[in-house]
Amino acid sequence: MNYFSSNFKLGILGGGQLGKMLLSETRKFDIQTYVLDPSDEAPCKIACNKFFQGSLMDFETVYNFGKQVDVLTFEIELVNLDALEKLENEGVKVFPSPKTLKLIQNKGIQKEFYEANGIPTANFKKFASKKELLIEFIETKLPLPFVWKCTEFGYDGNGVKIVRSATDIENLPDVECIAEEIIPFKNELAVIVVRNVSGEIKTYPVVEMEFHPEANQVEYVICPARIDNKVAQKAQEVALKVSEKFNHVGLLAVEMFQTVTDEILVNEVAPRPHNSGHHTIEASYTSQFENHLRAILNLPLGNCDSKVAGIMVNLVGEEGFSGQVIYENIEKIMAIDGVTPHIYGKRETRPFRKMGHVTIVNENMDEARKVAEEVKNSIRVIS
């Protein structure tokens, strides 16, 4: 198949920032792109060959979109699976495949998959409703506190809560959910694994994530993670095992906990480019977005090594501001060496909405971390 400067068409389901960053790589290789997104103001609209507005969960919309392209990928997991299965059966190449997505889309099924495949993960129980969860709590006293997660439609810390009392349970939405044991951990880590159609496989270095205490969103992604080599090796081995069991094509971001006893437990995965890999655009020989493209087109994978230490800072909407976005002090941070802002193209800001990210690269990790702090304290996403 000739992908470059030809009639070949790549379809992307979802037109958010991940799609927009993927499109910069398709532009580099001159690959035609079609994008489907529910919003007429999707960040991807500016950068694809053809943009279609429509629901990603609607069978007909996804099916009709998919019929127009040669290879279909997605930048968000919440897409209509039945449509993807029908398209795949009719010869459209869908990567990662609907089979993989089916095991990941629902967090309950995803957790059961780890259990069945001997992948270390936190203890959990699945419940069909809030009532079931309450009965379990009253009868056997689910030990408090625990982590509550809705099995579907959660993202960026939405759909995840720490339950500390019976009142907290009362206030939860009535949906299928899991109750998960709270893990005392030293670090939250992530490894991105990339695998192409032929089965060539590579991993990026382990990254460490520092979280915002209230928003449950990542504030800093630090690469390489400041951990012992043995722990890093174990994390990469676990990520490779997860990748092998899911049998995915494309990127798989594996989020993990490093426990106080240095065990590695898998928290969850995402079968697409991921927040924990944004630093790769500036810091790695091959960005996660380019490697996702190489993988789904079955091209040789690029070098995943880092050229330099990299830290990513998420730019999220400040509390108390909603409306037309203003990036305050952006020129101040752009005056610092090794600082690159990425603006996602969302016109409207609201509290904690992901609006962009900034990458800091430096030969020296401690220096990079200092600069990251300065960036975090300088730039504000307001309206």
**Residues in the annotated binding site for ATP:** 107, 149, 180-183, 188, 267-268
Instruction: Give 313's strand partners.
Output: 220, 358
Strands 348-349 and 326-328: unpaired
Place of tokens 């439609």: 153
How many whole angstroms separate alpha carbon 190 and alpha carbon 228? 15
How many whole angstroms separate alpha carbon 272 and alpha carbon 76? 7
Q: Please state, in angstroms and as integers, the Cα–Cα distance from residue 84 to each residue in 33, 70, 101, 232, 255, following that order.
A: 18, 13, 10, 36, 26
Q: Which residues contact 350 (CB under 8 A, 6 or more apart)?
A: 317, 321, 322
How many whole angstroms separate alpha carbon 35 and alpha carbon 88? 18
What is the phi/psi pair of residue 78, to 5°? -80, 75
Q: Please state, in angstroms and as integers, the Cα–Cα distance from residue 74 to each residue in 28, 149, 247, 248, 307, following that order.
A: 19, 23, 17, 13, 28
Annotated binding site: 107, 149, 180-183, 188, 267-268
How many whole angstroms separate alpha carbon 94 and alpha carbon 74? 9
Instruction: Judge contact between 261 and 183, C-beta under 8 A.
Output: no
How many whole angstroms separate alpha carbon 73 and alpha carbon 11? 6
